[in-house]
Amino acid sequence: MTTTASTTAEEKKVATITLTIDGKKIEAPKGVTVLEAALGAGIYIPTLCYDPDLKPYGACRLCVVEIDGMRGIVSSCTTPAADKMIVHTETTKVNQARRIAIELIMANHVGDCLTCAKNQQCELQKVARYLGIEQEHFDRLRKGTRVLPIDTSHPAFDRDHNKCILCGRCVRACQEIAGVGAIDLAYRGYAAKVSTFGDKPIHDSICESCGECIARCPTGALLPKRTRQATRQVKTICPYCGVGCSIYLGMRGNEIVEVQGDKESPVNKGGLCVKGRFGFDFVSHPSRLTKPLIRKEGKGKDIQVNGNFKDIFREATWDEALDLVARKLNLMKEKYGPDSIGVLSSAKCTNEENYLLQKFTRAVIGTNNIDHCARL
C-alpha cells in the first residue's frame, strides 16, 4: 500500500507544474501554455486570437506578459509554461504594449457598436474596456479610409470585412476543424484581408457552410443573417440525423433565434453541420402544419396546391386522420399485398418512436420496406 501511494504521488508530481502568476502560486497540467495556465486559475489575460480548439497563433499580441529570466515581453499563448516560472501580467511595459496593439486594431475598425448585432457580446469591446481605451486615444491616430463591400452572397450569413480584425480564427477553424480551407489571409500590409480563392463571394467558394468560423469570430465580421439576442438557452439534441449532436437553442419567447454546439458533448464536442447550425427556421415557419389535413371530396390529385391548402384540404382531428390512414393502408394491403407499401422514418422522431414505426411496419403491415432519413 505504501509503494502504491508513493507511486501515485510521484505520477501526480510529474503530471503537474507549479508556477507563480502575479504573486499567486498555481498548479497547472504539464504541457500547457502560460495563457492556459492563467485562465485555468481564473487569472484574466486579454486575447483575441486565442481559441481552445485551435493551435496557438500569437497574432493579436494582446496576451503579452513578462517572465523572469526572459528578455522583453512574450506572447503567453505561444509560450509553454514551465515549473517554477514567475509571470507578470500587469506591468507598465505589458499594459503599454497591449494598449498600442488594441489602438491599432480599433483604428481601422468600424465604430458603430450600438447598431452592431454583436454589441455587448463582442470580445473586442471586452478587451478595450479592460484596457481602459477612450476616445482620446484615437484622436491622435490617422483613421483608415478603406471601405470594403459586405459579402451577402451566402443564404445563411454575411461577411463584413470592415469589422474584421485579422485575428485568423475563422481561417484556422476552416483549416484545422472543418478541414476545408475555403478562406485564408490574402494580400499584404494595409490591403490584407480574409479572402476566398480568387477573392470570390463566399457562396461561390468551397465553403461547406458548417459555421465554425461564425462560432469563433470575436467581432461582428461574421454574423448570421437573422440575429436576435437570446434570453435563455435550452439544451437538446439536433433533430436532423442519427449522429446525436448535443446543442443549445437560444430562445426568445417561443422562438429559436440561435443555435450553439455543446462543447461538453462527447459526440460533437461543440461542432455542428450546416443543418444543425442554420436549419431551424422550420420550427416557427408560417407554412408549418399544426393540424392534420384531409383532401376535400371531389378534389382531384392532379390539382396544383401552390401553397394554398384551404381550397383543396380541410382541417381534421388526429383521430379522424389516423382512422383514414389505417383504412387506406388496409385497402392497399388487401389489394396489392404488404410489399406494395413502403415506410420512411424520420430523425426528427425519438428513438422510441422510430422503433415503434419499424415494429409496426414489420409486424402489422408485414413488410421489410422501411428506411430512415438518417441512414448515413
Domain spans, the chain: 15-145, 148-278, 289-324, 337-376
| Domain 15-145 sits in CATH 3.40.50.620 | no
Q: Give kind and range of the element (H or E) at residue 37.
A: helix 34-40
The strand ranges marked E within the chain are 16-21, 24-29, 64-67, 73-75, 86-88, 157-159, 183-186, 193-196, 222-224, 232-237, 246-252, 255-261, 293-295, 313-315, 343-345, 370-372
Partners of 73 in the beta sheet? Answer: 66
Could you give the CA distance from residue 226 to residue 228 in angstroms, rounded to a whole number?
A: 7
- Predicted model pTM: 0.79
**Of 105, 129, 32, 35, nearest in space to 75 by CA:** 35
pLDDT in tens, the chain (376 residues): 444 554 455 555 558 999 999 999 999 999 999 999 999 999 999 999 999 999 999 999 999 999 999 988 999 999 999 999 999 999 999 999 999 999 888 888 887 888 888 888 899 999 999 998 877 766 777 777 788 999 999 999 999 999 999 999 999 999 999 999 999 999 998 899 999 999 999 999 999 999 999 999 999 999 999 888 889 999 999 988 778 899 999 999 889 999 999 999 999 999 999 999 998 888 888 888 889 999 887 665 555 555 566 678 889 999 999 999 999 999 999 999 999 999 999 877 878 888 999 999 999 999 999 998 876 5
Partners of 256 in the beta sheet? Answer: 251
Could you give the CA distance from residue 163 to residue 18 in angstroms, rounded to a whole number?
A: 40
- State the CB neighbour count (10 A cutoff) for residue 118: 20
Q: CATH for 148-278, among 3.30.70.20, 3.30.565.10, 3.40.190.10, 3.40.50.12780?
A: 3.30.70.20
Could you give the CA distance from residue 322 to residue 294 in angstroms, rounded to a whole number?
A: 11
**Of 375, 370, 366, nearest in space to 342 by CA:** 370
